[in-house]
Amino acid sequence: MKTIFMGAVAAAVLAFSVNANAADMPAAVKTYNCLGCHAIDKKVVGPAWKDVAKKYKGDAGARANLIVKMMKGGKGAWGPMPMPASPKMTEQESAALVDFVLGL
């Protein structure tokens, strides 16, 4: 019984932490339908954003590179599926989204 209770508590804490991060998402996530291909903690079409944060942790040039990649698109960093460009995304929107992702 204690194991079941502790499992339920752990699941509730995990669900809260994911929802708390979701509440902090920049508006660009909705505007550009980012959740159609990404999720915070699991691979969808593109990588989980937590995996992106982990991959680029400590990389001094990552922020600048990812800001450009979100606007212009990219391919090859996470497999064969390219990330489409978001030509209407502003640099400020891209920077806010990159900061959110790298902060996970």
Alpha-carbon gap, residue 11 to 18, rounded angstroms: 11
- Would you say residue 41 lies in a domain? yes
What is the CATH classification number for the domain harbouring 61? 1.10.760.10
Domains identified in the chain, total number: 1
80 or 23, greater pLDDT = 80
Contact indicator for 34, 97 with CB cutoff of 8 Å? yes
- Would you say residue 97 lies in a domain? yes
With b meaning 16 or more CB within 10 Å and e meaning fewer, what string describes 74-86? Answer: beeebeeeebeeb
- Would you say residue 43 lies in a domain? yes
User: What is the span of the domain harbouring residue 72?
Assistant: 26-102
pLDDT, one tens digit per residue, over 39-97 is: 999 999 999 999 999 999 999 999 999 999 999 999 999 999 999 999 999 999 999 99
Q: Which residues contact 59 (CB under 8 A, 6 or more apart)?
A: none
